[in-house]
Amino acid sequence: MAVIDRVLIGEGLVIEDRPDGSGLDLKNVAHIDLIMGPRGSAAEDAFCRTLTDQKQGVNGLLAIAAPNMMVKPNTVMFNKVTIKDGRQAVQMFGPAQRGVAMAVMDCVADGTIPLEEADDVFICVGVFIDHTADMDDRIQDWNYRATKMAIKSAVAREPKAAYVVKEYKQALHPFAATTAAEKNRRAEDQAVELAIKQMKERNPLMPKVAVEDVSDRAVDEMKKRVALTTK
């Protein structure tokens, strides 16, 4: 029975701190949206439309491991941020393309995508490259990791609906806006933290409770979810 027998959906985000320790590297963040499916499916139709429907600032391109060596399964990339200049275009056609291509081929090599199905599967990969991206090595490595994560999640049919229903209210988004309700909740949390701090000052024998940064915890949770799909 075929492993990739229908249209599958995958997603992956990779982000780490800036090398100088100034916080999350928002400039080079990689976020992949991916669909894949067998010959004759909507994924093949999407592949053909993406590759042929070129517009100013929005381009479809084949993923290639090297010139004259396009990857299998057939993979088309499209940008999720409007390409405005030559530098950004080169980042898409260079390090991002290389990262996506190598992720696809590694997923064939490790058996995630069965070799016997690879010639008849089509993959469409949405790539995010920020206008301020400034580190080609991170663009390549992070898009590789995000694409591999998305493929493995798609093939594993993860996450399952039951897991999302159980976890979505507690799951944190590192780039989410803060709603009024969240602000009130955060104010309450801060009040509790202050009370604990004052109590500890009154009683130095109390064990210390670390106060974590919400964005850091969101990234930590994301990394744990990544680990589940990359084993």
Alpha-carbon Rg for the chain, nearest whole angstrom, is 21
pLDDT, tens digit (0-9, with 9 covering 90-100), for 2-61: 999 999 999 999 999 999 998 889 999 999 999 999 999 999 999 999 999 888 888 899
pLDDT score of 213: 59
User: What is the percent of the chain where pLDDT is above 90?
Assistant: 65
Catalytic residues: 31
For residue 195, the one-letter residue type is A
pLDDT of 147 higher than 90: yes
Residue 12 CA to residue 51 CA, distance in Å, equals 22
User: What is the percent of the chain where pLDDT is above 70?
Assistant: 85
pLDDT score of 199: 66
Q: Is the peptide bond before 204 cis (omega within 30 degrees of 0)?
A: no
pLDDT score of 211: 46
| Residues 6+ away with beta carbon under 8 Å from 184 | none
pLDDT score of 209: 46
Domains of the chain: 8-158 (3.30.230.60), 173-231 (no CATH)
Residue 60 CA to residue 96 CA, distance in Å, equals 13
Mean pLDDT, range 105-126, rounded to an integer: 98
Contact 34, 10 (CB under 8 A): yes
pLDDT score of 200: 66
Two structure tokens written together for 229? 């799909």
